[in-house]
Amino acid sequence: MTKNIAEQRLSEQVLAEHRPVLFRYALLQLRDHELADDAVQETLLAAWQAASNFEGKASLRSWLIGILKHKIADHWRRSVREVVTPELDQIDADKSAVDEDDFFTSNGEWHSGPSAWNDPEAALKQQEFWIIYETCQDNLPPQMAKVFMLRELVGLDADEVCRETGLSTANYWVTMHRARLRLRECLEIRWFNNPKPTKENHHA
Amino acid sequence: MRNCRDITLLISKELDNESTLSERFAVGLHVLMCSRCRNFQTQSKFISKAAHRFTEQLEDQSEKKL
């Protein structure tokens, strides 16, 4: 009887709703469409087969991501490549305080604050901008990058990111705040304040 | 009074739809007077948009490779 209820809850349609999030999660880790697709497929199949193990305590998506992580780990074990995303450590409170000093005075005022950006929408259409964007994203400390990506790229909500990373809600806010401060500054220095007189001619 | 560090944290929370009404009010009032925090707000929204676009491109590119 329990099994029937579980299976009902995990109908193909219900599982399929989570496919886009799972796929983005897998793609960001594996950086390969086909491998990501396989991992998601295996995950949904495994979830389907193990439907009776799903007790509904965790959210379905957390449960699915748990399975997906195993599939991705299996992939890394099979391949020679090293795991590129180490597991998260708790944020070091002292280190975090130092981090904020980079942006604010002890009174909490900006050191050198955000200046206005010239036509950011236009940047989205330029190939060169995306190279800079990726560099800035990759330059975030690993745990900060993971939190930012789970939230903004994979599309998990705050609670899910906390469960995934073991961060408290307060630490999550602080981490996202810093990630935005860092990304913003990096984009300002490398793109928006960087004179690009020959940008128009780069396509030649 | 909240300083710019506090306000930018609240702006970040607001982007994730997690701030309270009074926090949003404090942010609204502050950015009226503070161009730096106003820039932070606009640019953080832009970064969210860029992050989503980045993911879409990643999905498109990897699809083309198949």
- In order of their start, the domains of chain A are 2-78 (1.10.1740.10), 93-201 (1.10.10.10)
pLDDT of residue A5: 52
Judged by a CB distance cut-off of 8 A, whether residue B13 touches chain A is yes
Tell me the pLDDT tens digit for each residue of B19-28.
999 999 999 9
Q: In terms of pLDDT, which residue wins out, A153 or A84?
A: A153
Q: Is the pLDDT of residue A171 over 50?
A: yes
Contact between chains at A33 and B65 (C-beta distance less than 8 A): yes
Contact between chains at B47 and A183 (C-beta distance less than 8 A): yes
Measure CB to CB from residue B47 to each of A113, A158, A180 and give the nearest one.
A180
pLDDT of residue A72: 86
CA distance A131 to A127: 7
3-state secondary structure of B8: helix
The residue of chain A nearest to residue B19, with distances taken between CA atoms, is A173
Measure CB to CB from residue B43 to each of A34, A114, A158 and give the nearest one.
A114
Cα B61 to Cα A65, A69, A123, A204, B35, distances in angstroms: 24, 23, 19, 22, 38
Measure CB to CB from residue B51 to each of A114, A120, A153 and give the nearest one.
A153
Judged by a CB distance cut-off of 8 A, whether residue B52 touches chain A is yes
- B35 CB neighbours in chain A (<8 A) are 113, 116
| Inter-chain Cβ pairs, chain A and chain B, closer than 8 A | 104
CA distance A202 to A5: 59
State the ipTM, two decimals.
0.93
Tell me the pLDDT tens digit for each residue of A56-73.
767 888 889 889 988 888
What's the pLDDT band for A202 if we cut at 50, 70, 90?
very low
**Mean pLDDT, rounded, for A19-27:** 90
**Mean pLDDT, rounded, for B27-52:** 96
CA distance A195 to B3: 32
Contact between chains at B12 and A104 (C-beta distance less than 8 A): no
Encode A116-185 in three state secondary structure. CCCCHHHHCCCHHHHHHHHHHHHCCCHHHHHHHHHHHHHCCCHHHHHHHHCCCHHHHHHHHHHHHHHHHH
What's the pLDDT band for B46 if we cut at 50, 70, 90?
very high
The DSSP annotation for B26-54 comes to HHHHHHHH-HHHHHHHHHHHHHHHHHHHH
Best mutation target, A152, A153, A154, to test chain B (most B CBs within 10 A) = A152
pLDDT of residue B17: 83
Q: How far is B27 from chain A (nearest CA, A)?
A: 15
Instruction: Tell me the pLDDT of chain A averaged across its residues.
Output: 81
Q: Where are the domains of chain B?
A: 4-65
- B56 CB neighbours in chain A (<8 A) are none
CA distance B66 to A51: 32
Tell me the pLDDT tens digit for each residue of A128-169.
999 999 999 989 998 899 999 999 988 888 988 998 889 999
DSSP category for residue A110 = B
DSSP category for residue A92 = -
pLDDT of residue A11: 77
Contact between chains at A152 and B48 (C-beta distance less than 8 A): yes
Judged by a CB distance cut-off of 8 A, whether residue A99 touches chain B is no
Structure tokens at A167: 């961060």
- Start-to-end C-alpha separation, chain B: 56
